[in-house]
């Protein structure tokens, strides 16, 4: 099972393959910014991928549009759209 690490806390959690980044963070007790309740609309739940970008589900066009709209860096992912397929390390500005 994949291990996700959340920085700066350094918390690590084992998750089932296919778990959304959003759900992994919430289950770890971390706050996740969202005004749409993970309905894949607002884009506020973006997280920066530090390690393991290749271990996440591929980006879809809608995710690219949200990141572009909000002028987010290419290392960011919308957590409610991104599935964990292998080990990764993420962070966000609101932790």
Per-residue confidence band for 81, with pLDDT thresholds at 50, 70 and 90: very high
Rounded to two decimals, the pTM is: 0.93
Main-chain phi, psi angles of 10, to 5 degrees: 80, 5
SS (H, E, C) 7-74: CCCCEEEECCCCEEHHHHHHHCCCCCCCCCCCCCCCCCCEEEEEECHHHECCCCHHHHHHHHHCCCCC
Nearest to 2 by CA among 18, 20, 14, 19: 14
Instruction: Say yes or no to pLDDT of 94 above 90.
Output: no
| Cα separations in angstroms, 56 against 18, 50, 52, 84 | 9, 12, 7, 5
pLDDT score of 35? 87
Distance CA 39, CA 85 (A): 21
Q: What is the pLDDT of residues 13-72, one digit of tens each?
A: 999 999 999 999 999 999 999 888 888 989 999 999 999 999 999 999 999 999 999 999
pLDDT score of 95? 81
């Amino acid at each position: 099972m994949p291990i996700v690490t959340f920085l700066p806390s350094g918390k690590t959690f084992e998750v089932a393959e296919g778990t959304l980044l959003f759900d992994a963070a919430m289950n770890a007790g971390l706050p996740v910014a969202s005004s749409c309740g993970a309905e894949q609309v607002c884009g506020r739940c973006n997280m920066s991928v530090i390690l393991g970008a290749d271990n996440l589900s591929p980006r879809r066009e809608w995710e690219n549009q949200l990141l572009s709209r909000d002028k987010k860096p290419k290392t960011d992912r919308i957590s409610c759209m991104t599935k964990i397929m292998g080990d990764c390390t993420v962070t966000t500005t609101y932790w």
